Chain A
Amino acid sequence: MKTVAVIFGGRSVEHDISIITGQFTIAALKAAGQFEVVPVYIAKNGVWHSDPSLADLKTFQDPELGERLNRLKTPTKALDGQFVLTWPGILSKTVKVDVAFPCLHGTYGEDGSLQGLLRLANVPFVGCDLEASVVAMDKVLTKQVLAETGILSVKYVWFSKREWESSQDTIQTSIAGLALPWFVKPAHLGSSIGITRVDEKTRLSNAVEVAFHYDDKVIVEQGVKNPTEINCAVLGNNILRASQLEQPLSRAEFLSFDDKYIGQGKKGGSMSGAKTSVKIPAELESAKTKQIQELAILAFKAIGASGLARFDFLIDPKTKDAYLNEINPLPGSLQAHLWKASGISSAELAAKLVQLAEERFAAQQKLTTAFDSSVLNQSGGTKQIAP
């Protein structure tokens, strides 16, 4: 039986959402009945914990969680060409991880950081690889890559904190070129954290300040009036499959964090409240549905994604144009409700993702990463300048 380490939590504002995704994934892998599942929880302070009790959501609902974690034996991690957890002590225990299943959202997890670490550890891991994660997690970079494919995205202006502080007037002038309303967003965050809708120009500075609280890169997007929101997930490495389309039914101006994860929402999957506020399949003509699914697959390929990703579109009610608004390289609870509606159970989804991770890893292993050269022998001498 393969050992799969489900990594969740993390140093991110989306820490709690990650716990939900992690627990969901653990349950799905267990239901698949093919894996030994090891929960690996990264606490908010960055400490890695692993214990069977962490495979239960109730553990994280315990107000005494901090004390419980302190009582747990913390495993040491070997990441030098393998991923091995060791619990020290008289009855020490060692587990070699066959596949890592990152369930971290946001910074240090979904943005390529963890993917880089797992690459170094030479262990197959589920979901998008480093490059795709970096591109997908940066809203500006995403739009720049998409521009090459012809996929539409809304007009935007982006700037760094330093640029805002030094050239605020110039940036404001650029932003004024966008039609209201504007959406001011931290460039690297998901789950609607730090996002403000701006309907009056005078509110811009406050909104930018909020966004800079979470990120040092901010994007201001031109809003689409009364858009139809549509989400589509894509699964695969080389052979890609688009899910049924989901239509969030937001009553608010945009889906806030609470809308998504506490009240209703589009992202939470089976463990959150995302049950009554979405329509699956979305109410679209079949041609439009097909177009969105094709655009999602095109975008998946464009950013070099693998495993799973979700693509959020906005459809302009007047022009019927579909704008790709956001890419989520690790959607909450693996977007299982969309796959369930598409005929793939959560257990099948989790098992498929593990299989895709192994396939990608096997392909990567075939690449040459060593090259014999004489450069070291030749270095250390005085550089000779050709006459």
Chain B
Amino acid sequence: MIRAFLSRYRPRYKRSLVYMLQSSEYNVGEYLKWYRRTADFTRVERRKQLVWTPKARLLWASAWLLDLWAWIFVVTQLFLALWPSGPESIWLWGYPATLAEPAASWVLLLLTATAIWLIPRFVAYGLALPLWLGRVLIQRPREKAMIKRAKRKLAEHPAAKIAIAGSFGKTSFKYMLATVLAEGKRVAAAPGNMNTPIGISRFVDKLTGNEEVLIFELGEYYPGDIRKLSDLVQPDVGIITGINEAHLLRFKTLERTVGTIFELADWLSAVKGQRSPTEQTQDKPIRQAQGGHVKGLVYVNGESELARLRAGAEHLLYTRKGVGKWQIKQAQTDLAGTRFVAQKDRVSITAASGLLGLHQIGPLAACIDLANRLDLSKQQIEAGIAKTKPFEHRLEPRPAADGVVTIDDSYNGNPTGVQMVIEFLGGLKGHRRWYVTPGLKEMGPSSDRVHRNIGQQLAAAGIEKVVLVKNSVTPRIAEGLEEGGFDGELIWFDDALKCFAALPNLTVSGDVVLLQNDWADQYA
């Protein structure tokens, strides 16, 4: 406790504040949330180090100036208050002089202690203030102009525009679809997770106008977000990758989450125009790559219960069994990838993807259907699927020379994804399997239930080793393991870094180690 208190007065405290601002990409809200949650600032830079950019230097210097100024102020005030012949009333510190002893001394002491207590907080909030003002006064107006420009450009762009929304799996679907369609079309997809109005506008700014297909990921933070993004993107095709408890902390209820994500489907049905739902779902290949030919199509992940229940008859449900008239056969998965045959009428597509897990088949089937509608040939679709590989930090296998295969799923922090991954891990035979996690964050009121479920799923899958990082949520996983009759070994670590350091010393050749989710420093 004393260490935690003193940590705000260490010289490194100011560097920690700047690091966290940088780590949260100068998002003042996220930074302040971290600040209010944190008690001990001794070891903030655990995963990464502060990068000394000009902005970071400026903030760091500002933090020192604020700190120095605050201390000078307090010391000066104290000095003036104690100076027998000095002015009696200098702002707050003059007040005790008007009181009789011993009250005067006590009030002076209290004032000074409060001021010293406030100084580090003053520095922390003082740093955030100019950033917030800069955002409101400068950045936002500029962004608004940029978004307006992007909207105009997109309205005139002839490409088929595909928008992807969902609680999870958006980025994976985007890369999958872009990889497959790129075999026959000029495709542009917004990189990384550029899923906000400004992110999308920056991406649009760079488009040449020559593209045949544009793929966008729509991020949902608050109700109405997806509708606004749809207004910006003006999609021809919508894809809903699934809905779960991810970001429940922001949405409060699942109903609001469902409603927000389905704003994409609602937007499409509102603007789809003359074509009837029956016409849209007819599985006829489209002869041109213009958006008009696929306008209004909405694919919904049928394996996500919440999405399936909300989907309408006009929507195309995709699952590992197929999509539309496409039927999936001979599905199998292992550490080398996933293989299946997609069949529709007399067309048969033999798919071999590097992606791991049977849960990848549904999205791949949707890609096949859309590629087929956009007139890609069987060969092009097969070649495209063959090029789909695990994405970085998403169920990405990393075989090592010592015979241990590490599967990096550290970017997967949603309960549905976790369920799929445990299913995959459970299906691997002939390996000793490790499941390593710090749990999931931002689960809101569902957190206990979600984590208990994870424990129960792990027990049911017969995972041999479960490694948990100690925090507020992992004890629930341990409870779930016990409830599920887990008969493997449960290993605890105080923090993730100690865990990662120890793992190579705990494994043997043939082991498969799944690293599930990772918490950045602001959540650790």
CA–CA, A340 to B504, complex, Å? 10
A287 nearest CB across to chain B (Å): 23
**In the complex, which of the residues A342, A343, A346 contacts B505, with contact meaning CB atoms closer than 8 Å?**
A346
Tell me, yes or no, whether B506 is within 8 Å of chain A by CB: yes
Query: Are A276 and B401 in contact (CB-based, < 8 A)?
Result: yes
User: Contacts A30-B502, A31-B502 hold; do A340 and B401 have CB atoms under 8 A apart?
Assistant: no
CA–CA, A28 to B504, complex, Å? 9
B428 nearest CB across to chain A (Å): 18
CA–CA, A32 to B401, complex, Å? 22
Chain A interface size band reads: 20 to 34
Query: Are B502 and A340 in contact (CB-based, < 8 A)?
Result: no
Q: Could you mark each residue 17-46 of chain A with 1 if its beta carbon is under 8 Å from any beta carbon of chain B, else 0? A: 000000000011011110000000000000
Q: Could you mark each residue 473-507 of chain B with 1 if its beta carbon is under 8 Å from any beta carbon of chain A, else 0? A: 00000000000000000000000000001111111
B496 nearest CB across to chain A (Å): 14
Query: Are A275 and B402 in contact (CB-based, < 8 A)?
Result: yes
Query: Are B507 and A345 in contact (CB-based, < 8 A)?
Result: yes
Q: Which residues in window 219-267 of B have CB below 8 A to A?
A: none
A25 nearest CB across to chain B (Å): 10
Query: Are B509 and A31 in contact (CB-based, < 8 A)?
Result: no
- Give the chain B neighbours of A270 by CB distance below 8 A: 402, 504
Tell me, yes or no, whether B403 is within 8 Å of chain A by CB: yes
User: Contacts A275-B402, A340-B402, A340-B403 hold; do A346 and B509 have CB atoms under 8 A apart?
Assistant: no
Query: Are B402 and A345 in contact (CB-based, < 8 A)?
Result: no
A260 nearest CB across to chain B (Å): 16
Q: Could you mark each residue 322-360 of chain A with 1 if its beta carbon is under 8 Å from any beta carbon of chain B, else 0? A: 000000000000000100111111110010000000000
Query: Are A340 and B507 in contact (CB-based, < 8 A)?
Result: yes
Residue ID in chain B nearest A275 by CB atoms: B401
Tell me, yes or no, whether B508 is within 8 Å of chain A by CB: yes
Query: Are A31 and B506 in contact (CB-based, < 8 A)?
Result: yes
A351 nearest CB across to chain B (Å): 10
Interface of A is mostly: helix
**In the complex, which of the residues B402, B501, B504, B508 contacts A343, with contact meaning CB atoms closer than 8 Å?**
B508
A193 nearest CB across to chain B (Å): 26
A267 nearest CB across to chain B (Å): 15
- Give the chain B neighbours of A28 by CB distance below 8 A: 505
Query: Are B509 and A347 in contact (CB-based, < 8 A)?
Result: no
Q: Which residues in window 350-376 of A have CB below 8 A to B?
A: 350
Query: Are B506 and A345 in contact (CB-based, < 8 A)?
Result: yes
Residue ID in chain B nearest A341 by CB atoms: B509
Query: Are A340 and B506 in contact (CB-based, < 8 A)?
Result: no
B35 nearest CB across to chain A (Å): 30
A323 nearest CB across to chain B (Å): 28
Q: Which residues in window 392-448 of B have CB below 8 A to A?
A: 401-404
Query: Are B401 and A345 in contact (CB-based, < 8 A)?
Result: no
CA–CA, A280 to B404, complex, Å? 13
B130 nearest CB across to chain A (Å): 37
Residues of B within 8 A of A (CB): 401-404, 501-509
Residues of A within 8 A of B (CB): 27-28, 30-33, 270, 275-276, 280, 337, 340-347, 350
Beyond A30-B505, A276-B401, list 5 extra A-B contacts (CB 8 Å).
A27-B502, A270-B402, A340-B507, A345-B508, A347-B505
Q: List 28 A-B contacts (CB under 8 A).
A: A27-B502, A27-B505, A28-B505, A31-B501, A31-B502, A31-B505, A32-B505, A270-B504, A275-B402, A340-B402, A340-B403, A340-B404, A340-B507, A340-B508, A340-B509, A341-B403, A341-B508, A341-B509, A342-B508, A343-B508, A343-B509, A344-B508, A345-B506, A345-B508, A346-B506, A347-B502, A347-B505, A350-B505
8 smallest beta-carbon distances between A and B, as pairs: A31-B505, A275-B401, A31-B502, A346-B505, A341-B509, A347-B505, A28-B505, A345-B508
